[in-house]
Amino acid sequence: AQKVTQAQTEISVVEKEDVTLDCVYETRDTTYYLFWYKQPPSGELVFLIRRNSFDEQNEISGRYSWNFQKSTSSFNFTITASQVVDSAVYFCALSEMDNFNKFYFGSGTKLNVKP
């Protein structure tokens, strides 16, 4: 079974629109970590955020915000006022405490931001 599901394969928006990327995870561990990575066309995955399972506070960093809801096993990522430079593939990942340092990645969501 997929531990991390990113149901949106590809999303296209026009610049300045807000966009939310969905991530649903599955784990039996009570302690786990969730991550978001950005992969621009250059290929390097860039770390964006890490969240542990005990911290359900939403986080905002500039135009980026993350909504962690344990009740629905979701860790969604919102980009406000999207820009062309946000165009990339975004990956959600899970790491469990019982098997730490083993990362399970979703299949990614390709975001196209058009001018």
Contacting residues for 112 by C-beta, under 8 A, at least 6 apart = 10, 11, 12, 13, 87
Smaller CB separation from another protein, 5 or 73: 5
What CA–CA distance (Å, rounded) separates 95 from 50?
Answer: 10
Q: Does 21 bind another protein (CB under 8 A)?
A: no
Among residues 16, 48, 22, 20, which one has the least CA distance to residue 35? 48
Which one of 35, 66, 68, 77 is in contact with another protein (CB under 8 A)? 35
Q: How far is the CB of 113 from another protein (least distance, A)?
A: 19
Smaller CB separation from another protein, 44 or 115: 44
- 40-99 residues near another protein, rule: CB under 8 A: 42-47, 50, 52, 91, 93, 95, 97
